[in-house]
Amino acid sequence: MREYVLSVKVNNNIGVLARIGGLFSRRCFSIKSLNSAETEEENISRLTIVVAADIRSLEQIKNQLMKLYDVHEVRILDDAVTREHILIRAGKTSEDRHKIIEIANLYRAKPVDVGADSIMLELTGEPVKIDSFIDLLKPFGIIKMVRSGITALERD
């Protein structure tokens, strides 16, 4: 069992997410993250899905997805650029805020909203980088956060 990144091209039709989500749940495949948005082609979206699977169920997931009418292409990404985006608000005191800004500078995270005690930062990077960034902010108290889930594109 390990994590795989799937890149799935779909018709941007009503209910396409329900079809894909439903397929994962009823076939007992687990989704770690899912990101969906439009592409350069009209009415086509690209989903980046991170799944935890063994090789046999990975093959099943791919084949079952391909059977959905709205799915055009399923690629299991191997050599790809993977990125994730996070918005995170942390800090309880103004002192915290300074320390948080120091960490943000190390990671080249950008402050996007500054409150009296807390600060909201944004960061884009490899998922591991995002993980370690979150870990460093934990001692200051994370108030709220949202991760985009992985987006990925194959290298040339």
Contact residues for another protein, defined by CB under 8 A? 14-15, 18-19, 22-23, 26, 56, 59-60, 63-64, 66-70
Cβ(11)–Cβ(39) below 8 Å: no
User: Which residue's CB is nearer to another protein, number 70 or number 96?
Assistant: 70
DSSP codes of every residue in 90-156:
E-SSHHHHHHHHHHHHHHT-EEEEE-SS-EEEEEEE-HHHHHHHHHHHGGG-EEEEEE---EEEE--
Look at the alpha carbons of 123, 125, 126, 128 in this order and tell me if their dihedral is positive or negative.
negative
Give min distance, CB of 101 to another protein, in A: 46
User: Which residue's CB is nearer to another protein, number 60 or number 148?
Assistant: 60
Strand partners, 9: 46, 73
User: Which residue's CB is nearer to another protein, number 34 or number 119?
Assistant: 34
Give min distance, CB of 59 to another protein, in A: 7
Give min distance, CB of 24 to another protein, in A: 11
Give min distance, CB of 113 to another protein, in A: 35
Give min distance, CB of 20 to another protein, in A: 10
Looking at residue 154, its amino acid is: E
Spatial CA neighbour of 50 closest among 39, 36, 40, 38: 36
Centroid of chain to Cα 97: 26
Rounded-to-integer distance, Cα 153 and Cα 156, Å? 9
